[in-house]
Amino acid sequence: MYWEVKRKLEEAGYNHYEISNFAKEGCESKHNLDCWNQKEYLGFGLAAHSYMNDQRYSNVSDFNKYINNNQEKVIHEIQDKESKMKEYMLLGLRKIEGISISEFENKFAKNPLNLYKEELSELEKQGRINVSKNQIKLTNKGIDFANQVWEYFL
């Protein structure tokens, strides 16, 4: 059914830009793409979530604490470099265009082909990813089994 929906949406002029999203050109979700590219964002309001300085956190969900201007925030995750690189791989493989190897190198000063040589080799052998000179992306089979691909980077 997924591939039938994909075909119909593309016939109607929608671009498949992320594993579970389609949009007309120029109407892609900027927020989602920013998340997949690990860009920072601030959430405002009760229980709103943010990602800043390698931390994922939220405002309190208790209305009375929030309305009384309690500055308390709930830390959900503090990332180190290794977890940030793995997450970049996982999130980048959500995008149909995949991961730019040069962008990974610019961000982390490491080559993902060397860093994740065994994982990428196994996934390529399974036919779930394609690796080219500057790109790592899911194949159609990889899209069908994306959750299993992402597990390599958890």
Give residue 71's pLDDT: 79
Q: How far apart are CA 94 and CA 75, in angstroms?
A: 25
CATH of domain 80-154: 1.10.10.920
Which residue ranges make up each domain of the chain? 28-78, 80-154
How do residues 136-146 score in pLDDT, each as one tens digit? 999 999 999 99
Three-state DSSP class for residue 138: strand
How do residues 48-78 score in pLDDT, each as one tens digit? 999 999 999 999 999 988 888 777 889 999 9
How do residues 3-25 score in pLDDT, each as one tens digit? 999 999 999 999 999 999 999 99
Record the pTM.
0.88
Give residue 70's pLDDT: 73
Structure tokens, 21: 């999203």
Write out 47-80 in H/E/C secondary structure: CCEEEECCEEEEECCCHHHHHCCCCCEEEEEECC
DSSP state of 91: H
Question: Would you place residue 127 in the very low, low, confident or very high pLDDT band (cuts 50, 70, 90)?
Answer: very high
